[in-house]
Amino acid sequence: MNAVSREDRTLRVAALRAAYREELAEGTDAFFAPRARACPWCGSNRLTGRLHTADLLQHKPGAFELDRCDACGHVFQNPRLNERGLAFYYRDFYDGLGEEKLGGVFDGRAAAYRSRAESVRPHLGGAAEWLDVGTGHGHFCETARAVLPAVAFDGIDRTDGADLAERAGRVRRGHRGSLPELAARQPGSYDVVSMFHCLEHCTSPQRELEAAHAVLRPGGLLVIDVPDPESRFARLLGRWWLPWLQPQHLHLVPAGNLRRRLAECGFTVLAEEHAEAHDPVDLLAAVWSALNAVAPREDLPWLDAPPGAGRRALRTAVMIAGVPLLLAAAVLDRVVVRPFAGPLRLANAYRLVARRDADGGPPTPG
């Protein structure tokens, strides 16, 4: 970051600090719904505490808990963020202060995007209309268009990212809003719906699956990537496992649960992939998160005051000292772990490709 951009960011942070201070005046309890006493997936009351952690990425105040259902294995945030809490913790992550940083991350994921498109290619008959849910700024669609030139890509997102994606030419059309809203307005509009790492962010995964069924034409395809809570890395790395991603991830669904629910919603699962959906970043992200937790925080508007020269110097020293660990972790992720992620059940995600059955299924969401 050059001196001008650093100064600009400092001014932006200072301008936001008062608003964050006012919003946090009541504490963080106001951001949560009442604690659930039953599993939102199967209804069982056999719940066990799975994880207690903090916001390891943005370092916003708050403590977050995940429970696991002993009956079906579903893992979910409990107590869950309410609408106010979701707005607070998403703010300045994908947009605002975080937009530039996250944009660079998404720009560098072309290989992963091509892999996602290739997973659907064997099941496509030719020309198709594809809706990408949670499209962000449309980077997946831009890459996938080169793999599937006969496909027209649209995107939908709750933020203004969909509008930006359309203006940038990455999607044919960008819808702003939710999938259930679009499905109610335009049922049977698409041949393919993709939900890449967005189902875990939804307050009601069941409603999203019903909406996907409604917006698809009979015989259309649904492709879903989600974190795998049954990954061995989830146990080995504990709170440092990136896909926990608290407080954003509300539901982490075992593959067996999602397969069964898709069948109940009127889909036939055509393929299940684990190694292909794996993102080789577990060890690197764990080391980075640990270093970031040890190092004094950078200037952030939800902190009481900007860091002084001493704290900035200490953070720089910690990060420099951690460079060898980061390099070693990156090599292990890509050279050692990646080839065996599937067989050793280390894959941090899985992918399901399903076909909408011709008849039956849930009603159109309203």
Q: What is the model's pLDDT at position 102?
A: 58
Q: What is the model's pLDDT at position 4?
A: 42
Contacts of 228 (CB under 8 A, 6+ apart): 234, 243, 252, 254, 255, 274, 347, 348, 349, 350
112-125 residue pLDDT tens: 999 999 999 999 98
Q: What is the model's pLDDT at position 134?
A: 95
Q: What is the model's pLDDT at position 331?
A: 98
Instruction: Please give the average pLDDT of every successive group of 10 residues along the chain, which has 366 residues.
Output: 65 92 94 98 98 96 98 98 95 78 61 94 94 95 96 93 93 96 97 97 97 98 98 97 98 98 98 96 97 88 88 92 97 97 97 90 51
Q: What is the model's pLDDT at position 100?
A: 62
Count of H-run helices and E-run strands, the chain: 13, 11
Peptide bond into 306 cis (omega under 30): no
Side-chain half-sphere CA neighbours of 298 within 13 A: 13
Q: What is the model's pLDDT at position 202?
A: 96
Both tokens of residue 311?
Answer: 């704290």
53-72 residue pLDDT tens: 999 999 999 999 999 999 99
Contact yes or no for 162/182 (Cβ under 8 A): no
Predicted TM-score (pTM) of this structure? 0.91
